[in-house]
Structure 1
Amino acid sequence: MTTESNENKTAEEIAAEEIIAQAEEQVEEKLDAAAESISEEQQKINELELALAAAQATVADQKDSVIRAKAEVDNVRRRSAQDVEKARKFALEKFAGDLLPVVDNLERAIASFDREDEAQKAMLEGVELTLQSFLSTLEKFEVKAIDPQDQPFNPELHQAMSMQEVEGVPANTVIAVMQKGYELNGRLIRPAMVMVSKASSVDTTA
């Protein structure tokens, strides 16, 4: 029956079937091509997404590097400014230290004068003016004397040369300044040499 039916088909019917088959084949080919194209596009999208993620990571790393570099530059600039400031403040430290013995000698000379002797009066005034000039110059450059007479003993600023018990004076009080100390811009360049009071001894014998 089938063979007969195929034989009974007209040439037009057979041509139509062939056209339909060819059309179906072309549709399938186009569908396959479209699927392949979609797959390639998706692959490109995936590659672009990976490249974007890598670029964003690189930008983030570079941003961190720039921030760290800026912080380091700021630190170097701050340290340099501090070093310059310290150098400016303490450049005169050695020079000032060399001048202090001159001041000491002038003070000792003044102390040795007899103020009641009229013959020494002019010389005394000259030495006092010289000393005052020295001290004014030192103060101009922030060199200041440390004279702790009757003040509590401070081991950071004072050097105890001896201790002595003094009635009515609290222990660890400076009772005599043998040599003044000096500081430059708040930094000690020479401690004051002092005598310090000590606590009263208690006789525990019966």
Structure 2
Amino acid sequence: MSAPQEELDPKAAHAAAASGSADAPKAPETSADAPLELPGEDLATLLAEAQAKISDYHDQLLRAHAEVENVRRRAQDDVTKARKFGTESFAESLIPVRDSLEAALAQENQTADDWQKGVEATLRQLNTAFERNQMREIAPQPGEVFDPHRHQAISNVPSEHPQGAVAQTLQKGYLIADRVLRPALVMVSSGQS
């Protein structure tokens, strides 16, 4: 008969393996147990390179932020200058009109015909200034469809025109670069009475 086998306590077997007894098999070391080694690279060198890259990226970020701020400031300046010089251009085109009016008033002993010719010439100068600055009239003719974006209705009146059409224009309106500067004042037809 063979010798009786001893029963081993599982805790005792684990303790024997941990203590490195000769009877317990050794487990191979895992990579977590071993120190991290990178062949040919020094960790201090890698850290220095990473810090240099971070510093470079931070510098680039600051420069980009400064550039965006400069572009924003330049755009604001451009808008301010455009408003200023847009008004200046329009004012410059009106100066000859004023000169003509002052010259007409300075003339003595003018006939009604001379006054009319002078006023017509001054009106041509004013129309030229309006055209140069993209300013156009809104002058709807009777029978045109009422446009609430370009016309301001004062009242409804019975007329021979269909309901909702312009019956009469009381005052011209004006557009400047397709934007309504002043709507035309109109009376709108309520249809035939």
Structure 1 length as normaliser, TM-score? 0.51
Go from structure 1 to structure 2 and tell me whether the alpha carbon gap of 1:184 and 1:168 turns closer, same or farther (over 3 Å shift). closer
Task: Work out which of the residue numbers 128, 149, 160 in structure 2 matches 1:156.
Answer: 149
What SS does the corresponding residue of 2:146 show, helix, strand or coil?
A: coil
Q: Which residue of structure 2 lines up, in the alignment, with residue 73 of structure 1?
A: 70
Find runs of 4+ consecutive structure 1 residues off by over 6 angstroms.
119-122
Q: Percent identity?
A: 27
Report how far residue 193 of structure 1 moved: 1.2
What SS does the corresponding residue of 1:154 show, helix, strand or coil?
A: coil
Structure 2 length as normaliser, TM-score? 0.54
Q: Which residue of structure 1 lines up, in the alignment, with residue 124 of structure 2?
A: 132
Q: Which digits, 9 at most, give the CA deviation of each residue in 1:25-69, with x for residues without a partner? A: xxxxxxxxxxxxxxxxx9x93223222212211211221222232
Q: Which residue of structure 1 lines up, in the alignment, with residue 100 of structure 2?
A: none
Q: Which residue of structure 2 lines up, in the alignment, with residue 10 of structure 1?
A: none
Contact persistence 1:89–1:185 (CA under 8 A): no
Where do 1:75-94 residues align within 5 Å?
A: 75-91=72-88, 92=90
Letter in 1 for 2:50: A
* C-alpha distance in structure 2 between counterparts of 1:90 and 1:146, whole Å: 22
Contact persistence 1:153–1:174 (CA under 8 A): yes
* C-alpha distance in structure 2 between counterparts of 1:198 and 1:58, whole Å: 76
Go from structure 1 to structure 2 and tell me whether the alpha carbon gap of 1:153 and 1:80 turns closer, same or farther (over 3 Å shift). farther
Count residues with an aligned counterpart.
136
Structure 1 residue runs of 5 or longer lacking an equivalent are: 1-41, 100-118, 202-206
Report how far residue 86 of structure 1 moved: 3.1
* C-alpha distance in structure 1 between counterparts of 2:43 and 2:126, whole Å: 83
* C-alpha distance in structure 1 between counterparts of 2:127 and 2:161, whole Å: 34
When Rg is computed on C-alpha atoms for both structures, the one with the higher figure is: 1
Q: Which residue of structure 2 lines up, in the alignment, with residue 146 of structure 1?
A: 138
Task: Work out which of the residue numbers 38, 41, 45 in structure 2 matches 1:48.
Answer: 45
Contact persistence 2:161–2:191 (CA under 8 A): no
Between structures 1 and 2, the one with greater helix share: 1
Go from structure 1 to structure 2 and tell me whether the alpha carbon gap of 1:177 and 1:161 turns closer, same or farther (over 3 Å shift). same
Where do 1:1-206 residues align within 5 Å?
A: 45-91=42-88, 92=90, 124-150=116-142, 151-171=144-164, 173-198=165-190
